[in-house]
A = this chain, B = another copy of it.
Amino acid sequence: MPELRKDPIIGRWVIIATERAKRPTDYAKEPVLIQGGSFCPFCYGNEEKTPPEIIAYRSNGTPPNTPGWNLRVVPNKFPALGIEGDLERSGEGLFDRMTGIGAHEVIIESPDHQATLGQLPEKRIEDVLWAYRDRIVDLKKDKRFKYVLIFKNHGAAAGATLEHTHSQLITLPIVPKRVREEVDGAKQYYLMKERCIFCDVIRQEQGSGLRVIAEDDAFITLAPYAPRFPFEAWILPKQHGASFEEATSGLYEKLARALKNLLQRVDTVLDRPAYNFVLHTTPMREDTELYYHWHLEFMPKLTKVAGFEWGTGFYINPTPPEVSAQALREVPAPAPAFP
């Protein structure tokens, strides 16, 4: 008998197939392979093909917009929003709109065209997380914005248009609906219980162990109880905190380790799938410290997953999280890197 399960934070029900559950080997293998060979605006020597860099991490004192960097953040050449101008709100009868003001930036995670994020050394992944933090801290000063959305698309199937490893950042003058629901859901729970719901989930999952993928002193990686997608995984800090950008500095090193660990497990178990991840941190200028709990949500894009949810907004997940967690947990860690 399949199950209906409810996400405890936002209240969304999903169908979890429990019989004939799809195991890792039931998914068609379509590994993301870096092709290389054609012109890439994110490689050394092509710095003038992107808009001028906003920040870069360089270990050798080379000047801006020249080779020698380990990481660069540049404006997106084809931004979804415009950074200049006033935020103007207007109505059109019963409709509401705003000018599309916002930053749209690209974090070029490495000069190495061939490496995926999961293959980078932990120190380089830590740099990526510091870049996220530095950009959030800077963009929070801009009073026009209410949210910084940071996400990564890896592989064409997950929406990446360039294969050179990178993430993206979009600042918004509104709070995205999915984040709003999460913050409001966590607040409701806190009002009832005086506890953070994410902390409660962590405690319960530690107790059962059924959906734990990995854990160390600082982070726990879980398959959520009611996942929308097969092999969805969340990385949560064990110490409560609402803001990714206000984490204690040692935490980025540990998150880099947890993220690399997850990406390597996924590459091994699912054969280098396309994936997305999204950083969930608190909206700006809202005091959510008591009840919100930042985390990272990871979802591989497995082919041959039916398009049911595309239209209906309702999810059928053919792999229970207990099955995906076990498969990811039991792979030897550190998993072998692909050459």
Contacts and interface: CB of A to CB of B under 8 A. Distances in A.
Contacts of A55: none
A334 interface: no
Nearest to A90: B3
Interface string A1-16: 1111110101111011
Nearest to A226: B95
A12 B151 contact: no
A316 B80 contact: yes
Contacts of A80: 2, 15, 17, 308, 316
Most buried by B among A4, A94, A158: A4
Copies in the complex: 2
Nearest to A207: B93
A97 interface: yes
Interface stretch (A59-67, A196-204, A286-294): A196-204
Interface in A150-197: 151, 153, 157-161, 170, 172-174, 176-179, 197
Interface string A290-311: 0000000101010000111011
27 contacts: A1-B99, A1-B101, A2-B81, A2-B100, A3-B97, A4-B97, A5-B97, A6-B95, A8-B94, A13-B176, A13-B177, A15-B81, A16-B100, A18-B100, A20-B78, A80-B316, A93-B208, A94-B201, A149-B314, A153-B310, A157-B307, A158-B310, A159-B308, A160-B307, A161-B306, A177-B313, A276-B310
Shortest 7 CB-CB distances between A and B: which pairs? A159-B307, A2-B100, A276-B311, A178-B313, A176-B314, A6-B96, A4-B98
Interface of A: 1-6, 8, 10-13, 15-18, 20, 78, 80-82, 85, 92-101, 149, 151, 153, 157-161, 170, 172-174, 176-179, 197, 200-201, 204, 207-208, 225-226, 276-278, 297, 299, 301, 306-308, 310-314, 316
